[in-house]
Amino acid sequence: MGIISVFSRLHPNVNNEKIFRNFGLVKRQNQVVQVDLGLSRELQRRGYRKSTKSDINQLVKRKGYVCSTVESTDKNSIQEFIVIYHDTMKRVGAKQDYYYDFDYISALLNTEAFKSVLYCAYKDEVMVAGAIFVYCQGNVQYHLAGTHADFLHDTPMKLIIDKAISDGTAKKFSRMNLGGGLTSAEDDSLFRFKSGFSKNFKTFCVWNLIVDDIVYGDLVSKNIVSSKTARDFFPLYRA
């Protein structure tokens, strides 16, 4: 089939190191945050950071934010979300690969392979933030998300995640994966934000497999990969 190497992200709740023993290399990357949806809402909220609970309460009771889901056929709202999402990607300096277009988002929300839901936060009936959550086989995955720059100080994403946790619990799902940070650093700001909802951390791993050692080595030599900083990159010839 002409396969030279294989790379895959691995699910944090599967014993991947046992599955892939003596078959490629499983590499531990960083910690990801998980919320136990089998707990009652009371116990879940006890696991929130104090400031996270306070911010959510203020968003609703004092600042007038509301959160609701968007119908998968509501093209105008989906387009509004995409504008906010693209602005967020621009703000964080994301690669062009992350600028998903309307066709992709619409297909994701309308697929029959699994359930995807777009949650949005509104202030005075204006959409200010949104996030897509994927529901599949007992898991809820926090996926694409964005917040309007003018409302970052209020962090309305906290209200969205809280609402998604509540819905996932009501629908009898097992867990929500919020993911990790942008880096593996302990003080990573995105990881700190997510860990405000749970201290249930799992190790995120990836799997690397070199299928054709000779061709792999030739490609590394051909691309003159010599930088020490690239040594952890896989496949190395694409570093």
Determine the Cα–Cα distance for residues 36 and 13; give it in Å rounded to an integer.
12
CATH number listed for the domain at residues 48-173:
3.40.630.30
Q: Is the peptide bond before 12 cis (omega within 30 degrees of 0)?
A: no
Strand order in the sheet with 200-210: 5-9, 200-210, 25-36, 175-179, 139-147, 126-136, 115-123, 65-70
Q: How confident is the model at residue 227 (pLDDT cuts 50, 70, 90)?
A: low
Give the model confidence (pLDDT) of 196-212 as tens digits.
999 999 999 999 999 99
Of 126, 132, 144, 159, whose CA–CA distance to 55 is shortest?
Answer: 159
The percentage of residues in the chain with a pLDDT greater than 90, rounded to a whole number, is: 82
pLDDT at 177 over 80: yes
Contact of 123 with 64, CB cutoff 8 Å: yes
| pLDDT at site 147 | 97
The two three-digit tokens of residue 71, written as one number: 């119908």
Q: pTM for the whole thing?
A: 0.88
Of 67, 77, 128, whose CA–CA distance to 105 is shortest?
Answer: 77
What residue ranges in the chain does DSSP mark as E strands?
5-9, 25-36, 65-70, 115-123, 126-136, 139-147, 175-179, 200-210
Contact of 184 with 204, CB cutoff 8 Å: no
- Kindly list the domain boundaries of the chain, sorted by start residue: 1-37+174-239, 48-173
The percentage of residues in the chain with a pLDDT greater than 70, rounded to a whole number, is: 96
Window from 5-14, 136-145, 182-191, 212-221 with minimum mean pLDDT = 182-191
Instruction: Say what angle helices 50-61 and 157-170 make with each other, to 10 degrees.
Output: 100
